[in-house]
Amino acid sequence: MLGTGGAAAPLLSGVARGRPASLDLALTLAVLAAFASIAFVKGAALGQDEPPTRDDAP
- What is the count of structural domains for the chain? 1
One pLDDT digit (tens) per residue for the chain, 58 residues: 677 788 888 889 998 999 989 889 888 998 998 899 899 988 888 776 666 667 655 5
Residue 35's alpha-carbon distances to 3, 15, 49, 58, in angstroms, are 10, 25, 22, 41
Q: What does the pLDDT read at residue 5?
A: 84
Q: Is residue 49 part of a domain?
A: no
Half-sphere exposure of 32 (CA within 13 A, CB side): 11
Global confidence as pTM: 0.65
Q: Is residue 53 part of a domain?
A: no
Domain that holds residue 36: 2-44
